[in-house]
Chain A
Amino acid sequence: MSDYLDRNMFGFVLRHSKRDQLYLLALIVASYPIQFLVYDSTKIIINKAIGGKGPPFEATFFGLIHFSLDVGQITFLLSLCFVYLFAVVASNGFKNWMNNVRGRNAEKLIRRLRYILYTRILRFPPSQFKRTSQGEMIAMITGEVEQVGNFFPGAIADPVFLGGQLAVSTMFILAQDWMMGLIAFAVFPIQMYVIPRMQKKVSALSKRRQREVRRLSDHLGETISGIAEVHANDTSGLERARLADRLGVIYTVRLEIFFRKYAIKALNNLLDKVSPFFFYSIGGILVIQGDITLGGLVAVIGAQKDMAAPWKELLNWYQAQADATVKYEQVVTQFEPAGLLDQKLLDAHRDEAVPALNGPVRLSSVSLVDEDGIRRVAGVSLEFPLAEHIAVVGGPTCGKDDLARLLARLAVPTSGRILVGEHDLATLPEAVTGRRIGWVDQSSALQSTTVRENLLYALKQRPFRPAAYTPEEAAQRERDSIAAALAGNTMQDYRADWVDYEIAGATGPDDIAPRMIAALELVELTDDVYQMGLRGIVDPADRPDIAEAVLRARAALAARLADQSHAGLVERFDPARYNANATMAENLLFGTPIGAAFKIETLADNVWVRTVLDKAGLTDELVEAGREVAQTMVDIFADLPPGHEFFERYSFISSDELPEFRTLLGRVASLAPAAMTAEDRARLLALPFMVIPAQHRLGVVTPEREEKLLEARRLFRAELPYDLAGEVEFFDPVRYNAAASLQDNILFGKVAHGQAQAAQKIGALVAETLDSMSLRAAVMEAGLAYHVGVGGSRLSTVQRQKLSFARALLRQPDLLVINEAGAAFDTSLLERITGRLLAARKGKGVVWALSRPRLAEAFGRVLVMDDGRVVEDGSWAELNREGRPLHALAGAP
């Protein structure tokens, strides 16, 4: 699978679609006679059938096939008309066929081009990522390829097809009268001279537009990734001005392109309209003089009209071609940086197991010079057995991170060699370096998927087990992989199981979890994942065993909570009782909303809720309660300045709404709830829905109101319309709630307000209960299924770091290179992790560029670097002496 990229767009098209294009051309050629027949039959119909004399009637098709029919004139006319109809239908059928072929060719080319460009990114030297921004690359592969792709369907076929059409029309006209023909073509040379010159300017502009649009996407990317900086520095004004500036340039360029393009079109149109002048004048004279027939002239005029269309399209093609060529070249040049990683290194041994690294690592005068000519690593020579544990320490610019990158083959020495056993590290395929060497960076990127998939990412070098497909799916997969191969894409199935369980010390999907948990345990991430699991949702249809165990845990927890020492920590959901630690909305719904209909925040606006409240005779009561809440809020918060943070933290009414509620209260002061306007009622009604009696102590949820609300709760469920049934999962003491988290399922209640350390106590109780039910593994499993967010954004920096450690450890590489990772950890955590990691990797290599030199004590060997050189090399005890560099470094905090 080569990713050779032609500099020339037509080169690319021809290289990858020669056969398809030939097939298309064959179709085009086949369509010509039919097209000719369309013209020819019209002429014969007019001259021979309508204007001719007989019987017998005679006609000649294509100037060759001659026949005469001894039938009546009308029969003759109709048969010719049917010939015409056949020709039209057939020619349209051909067109349709050709279009399908064209479309398929083009899509294959777009797919291939994108794939090649992506592969190129994988081969980029690291320096390229400093030059070209993410935004620009994305814009090129998505947007610009799309635009180039729009041209692909007609790249080869259009000029041939349209040219052929022109030739057919031309031949037809010339066959009628050579002079008419010359007239018809009189304007072509003018167009052929002027238009390319005009187009050249458009192309230059379109090149510029492309550059500007790329800068725009660069700017967008920068704003999005740096949104915090924009807000923190109040630079939204600056950024908008920058955007306006960029848009201004794009505006000017686009407008000029538009004007120039339409200038070309206008010129074409004018010239098109001029040629009939000659037909009518000169052609008319010829007919009057009897040199050509009237039918001939009509047909010539028709042919010329037909000719105008392809000619116009040919010009369009030319314009599109110029545009696409510019775009293609602009894209391709960006994807051909110097120093691309050798394709062989990327692909060799991709589909086979690779042996473990062997033998000592030898660096002989290794230097690394960066693109600015700065020597980052200067002539380092050293040898170490693969299994050694080495700490690299030094100041911020000592080059330890570059040395780490060199050892992980993320950089290649500018001079010198790194040998692993007999092999030069620089020529080892990635299948070896990327599987046998592990890497943890300061800020390793996470995939936006689950914790589990992030851990397994280190084990997915090739598909190991085919995906479990149904026969239909398998057939579809077969077709997909053929289509992929035809477009030069990989045929490896993304949906297969790519996980190399054995490399992680497991035998298959069933026993990988303990391995993952062991890795998490080592970096102290287990508790976090456990908490994620508690917040996670388990589908009881998938895991009936877990659901059942959770229900048992629920019962066990309830028994423990009933115990004297835990009394009052949790108020459990009881269908027959009002829960004072839940909002009124939760009390009414008494379930977990599934869709948007019964969202707790807006429950009071729901039509079914209002119906139920009316039925239970509760509406007026709650409007009254709302009035009480509003009155208290107005009393309490009236003196606070608008926008005071207390409003957001404590008030049921925002500071903007407070004045409105004050006037509302004045307006309804002497009115019974029933006498208020519908709008006022709705506003007041929504307030008590947020009240949690145990927390807010507002005294609005009286026993009578509780009573009625319980009735409303019953009605809500009993009479719930059929179409709303899927919107809520009701609380049921003996059923697993599929919409609620594991924790909520176990707790089945609300943590009571105002109990000191209730949350911690309950957390401990829940954990104990789960452990006693052997549910810990199930919770961990749910935790592993926790989605980490885009780039791991739902995890803290420390959690992300821990996860990338765990991921690297899971694969058990022969050599683990760590580049200042764990800088976000506090010293004692880093110390614990270092200790455990080194113990776990006994017999396997670790090279750790340490951010805190004091931690080097735990390593068997310490390298001290300064200015790209290894200045000291030895054990901690030898080097940590007064006056030695390590001593100074380790003394620093």
Chain B
Amino acid sequence: MTLNEEVELLRKIPLFAKVEPSKLKLLAFTSERVSYDAGQALFAQGDMGDAAYIIVEGEADVEVSTPSGPLVVATLGRNYFVGEIAILCDVPRTATVRAKTRLVTLRIAKDLFFRLVTEFPQMAVEIMRELASRLENTTAQLREARMQQRQ
């Protein structure tokens, strides 16, 4: 896959959809393509975050450790952006992400990500938008859960 194909791929991710192509090219060029075998972890819960990942190919499981062993809470596919929370707010990884199949990712290192965000405000705005919508989602889920609990 060449740089230009990667740029096309990045544009399909909502977070980057509105970012200029030349910036995406820079992002693609400066990030690293990393592939994983099935079962290999991208990162583990509790680690300090040093990078975020974009899934280019394959699927990954999000696992949370529970007293009764790891619990898969979600499965992510192509074009997902994962691991950004730990690098945005300097908290340990909240979950383990593990390749479910053979997985190809674009790894964006933390310092690189921050530089891009500070360098290009429109990217920051897009990320804000994405996070806000996720928060909205989570809040909705929480509301639902509360309702269920009350019933």
Contact = CB atoms under 8 A, between A and B. Distances in A.
Interface stretch (A125-133, A173-181, A671-679, A695-703): A695-703
B30 A756 contact: no
B2 interface: yes
Interface residues of A, number: 22
Contacts of B23: 639
A695 B6 CA distance: 13
Nearest to A695: B32
Contacts of A755: 34-35
Contacts of B25: 632, 635-636
Contacts of B119: 640
B3 A638 contact: no
Contacts, number: 53
Given A646-B115, A697-B33, A756-B34, A636 B22 contact: yes
B3 A698 contact: yes
B89 interface: no
B33 A753 contact: yes
B80 interface: no
Given A636-B25, A756-B40, A646 B2 contact: no
Contacts of A695: 32
Given A636-B26, A756-B34, A697 B2 contact: yes
A697 B1 contact: yes
A469 interface: no
Q: Range of interface residues on chain B?
A: 20 to 34
Determine chain B's interface SS by DSSP, over half rule.
helix
B141 interface: no
Contacts of A632: 3, 25, 29
Contact of A699 (B3, B36, B37, B40): B3
Contacts of B26: 636-637, 640, 646
B4 interface: yes
A635 B37 CA distance: 34
B35 A699 contact: no
A455 to B, nearest CB: 37
Interface in B1-18: 1-4, 6
B114 to A, nearest CB: 12
A565 B119 CA distance: 41
A284 B11 CA distance: 112
A641 to B, nearest CB: 9
Contacts of A565: 37
Contacts of A82: none
A571 to B, nearest CB: 14
A695 B29 CA distance: 9
Interface string A219-255: 0000000000000000000000000000000000000
Contacts of A696: 3, 29
Most chain A CB atoms below 10 A, which of B1, B29, B30: B29
B4 A646 contact: no
A756 B106 CA distance: 11
A143 interface: no
Contacts of A649: 30
A754 interface: yes
A862 B3 CA distance: 66
Given A635-B22, A640-B119, A646-B115, A697 B35 contact: no
Contacts of B1: 697
B2 A698 contact: yes
A313 to B, nearest CB: 72
A650 interface: yes
Given A697-B1, A699-B2, A699-B4, A636 B34 contact: no
B22 A646 contact: no
Contacts of B40: 756-757
A774 B113 CA distance: 45
Nearest to B42: A756
B22 A638 contact: yes
Interface string B84-107: 000000000000000000000000
Nearest to A651: B29
21 contacts: A632-B25, A635-B22, A636-B29, A640-B26, A640-B119, A645-B115, A646-B26, A649-B30, A695-B32, A696-B3, A697-B1, A697-B3, A697-B6, A699-B3, A699-B4, A754-B32, A754-B35, A755-B35, A756-B35, A756-B37, A757-B40
Interface of B: 1-4, 6, 22-23, 25-26, 28-30, 32-37, 40, 42, 115, 119
Given A645-B115, A646-B26, A697-B29, 19 more contacts: A632-B25, A635-B22, A635-B25, A636-B22, A636-B25, A636-B26, A636-B29, A646-B115, A650-B30, A695-B32, A696-B3, A699-B2, A699-B3, A754-B32, A754-B34, A755-B34, A755-B35, A756-B40, A757-B40
